Amino acid sequence: MTVNRPFFNRDLDAAVEAGVLDLPAAERLRGFLAARAPQPVEAQIPVPVLRPKFDLTHLLWYAGALIIMSAMGLFSTLAFAAMGGGALAVTGLIYGLGLWYAGHRLWKNEETRTPGGLLIAVAVAMVPLIVFGIQSATKSWAGYADPGKYQGFYHYVKGGWLPMEVATIIASILAIRRYPFAFIAFPAAVCLWFMSMDIAAHIAGDRNFSYELRRRVTLYFGMALFVATWIYELRPRKADYAFWLHLVAALSFWGGLTFQSSTWEFGKFLYCMINVALIGVSLFVGRRVYTVFGVIGVMTYLGHLAYSVFKDSMLFPFALSAFGLGMVALGIFFARRRSALEAAMETWLPPGLAHLRPYPARSERI
């Protein structure tokens, strides 16, 4: 039973004045009943955990991690590769263990958990170098031809890279189980993308793996990764691993879609409509990254109209300017009303479809 506190205190005071209770007994009764009273509804509502803002400090941390990854992979030089397989494996192992140890120490402190998780992610990114060095030193390419220099891993599609990709994905999964930090999913997502193309190259044959086939594999991989990530997000998770998976999914799908060659004007219009649909997908799954790529895609189509279809039209720049102002106004409206629009979406959607929204997009309202 809920006690109305003002009336309860007033009745106790009246009982003391009438001599029914003495003051000490009344105070003991007051304390006893107050302790048994239910908590206010507001106190029963869990306080949402505030995530740290992505400020300049975080920008420097992430930039540093990406620079280390690039230095030991994408921008590694021919002189670096000339060290030989054994030296590369030892270098990668020393880097990986050193970065893991530093990250592990930083992870223990709540204030330095973010740089600690970033260093652990960079340690995972050393796995391809270690595996490549071992394979190069032992000349064991798991039945594939020698894929060449290590930096080619980030430039060329070859079946020989598969052991490196599998090992990196396994290392990412093991690291995530011990250190729930979202960025560790990034090297795994990139290797999944590489693996999709390398497996396709193996099936089709390296020589038959044309640019058009690469584009289609990238497009289909983006779609498959989006569906897998969407299913993964239907339940609450400890860390936002899905952000990086959505980023790679959006990048690969949009890239595969954008770099198709088509002379069909309706096909280009359809490309624009798909990018508009990406903005709707962003609202449904609660991920702004699809909005970013959708807007870029729409602007790409408008650029095509300006330079090809309406290049001799005097009114087109004015019409396009008005359209641009409308997009700015729509963006302002969307930014101010995003929460209301998301809540309205759940009202409009059938209950079964509403529960198919990813958990982060609906957790505040369902």
Q: How many CA atoms lie within 13 A of 157 on its CB side?
A: 25
pLDDT at residue 168, rounded to an integer: 92
Q: What is the mean pLDDT of residues 153-181?
A: 83
Q: What is the mean predicted confidence (pLDDT) over 273-300?
A: 83
User: Mean per-residue pLDDT for 111-115?
Assistant: 86
Q: Which of 60-64, 175-179, 358-362 has the lowest mean pLDDT?
A: 358-362
Q: How large is the angle between the packed helices 113-125 and 185-204, nearest 10 degrees?
A: 20
Judged against a pLDDT cut of 90, whether residue 174 lies above it is answered with yes
When pLDDT is cut at 50, 70 and 90, the band that residue 80 belongs to is: low
Evaluate if residue 15 carries a pLDDT over 80: no
Q: Nearest-5° angle of CA 272, CA 344, CA 359? A: 85
How far lies 105's CA from each of 65, 94, 120, 173, 349, in Å? Answer: 16, 17, 10, 20, 47
Q: Which of 48-52, 201-205, 263-267, 316-320 has the highest mean pLDDT?
A: 263-267
For residue 320, the model assigns a pLDDT of 66
Average pLDDT over residues 84-104: 89
Query: In whole angstroms, what is the distance from residue 57 CA to residue 46 CA?
Result: 29
pLDDT of residue 171: 94
CA gap 132, 165 in Å, rounded? 10
pLDDT digits (tens, 9 = 90+) for 206-218: 555 677 777 888 8
The answer for residues whose C-beta is within 8 angstroms of residue 248's C-beta and 6 or more apart is 186, 189, 190, 192, 193, 222, 225
Computed over its alpha carbons, how large is the radius of gyration of the chain?
Answer: 29
DSSP 156: -
Is the full-model pTM beyond 0.75? no
pLDDT at residue 238 in the model: 63
Tell me how long the chain is.
366
Decide: 283 and 309 in contact? Cβ < 8 Å: no
Higher pLDDT: 122 or 326? It is: 122
Residue 38 has what pLDDT?
Answer: 54
Lowest mean pLDDT among 84-93, 133-142, 244-253, 350-359: 350-359
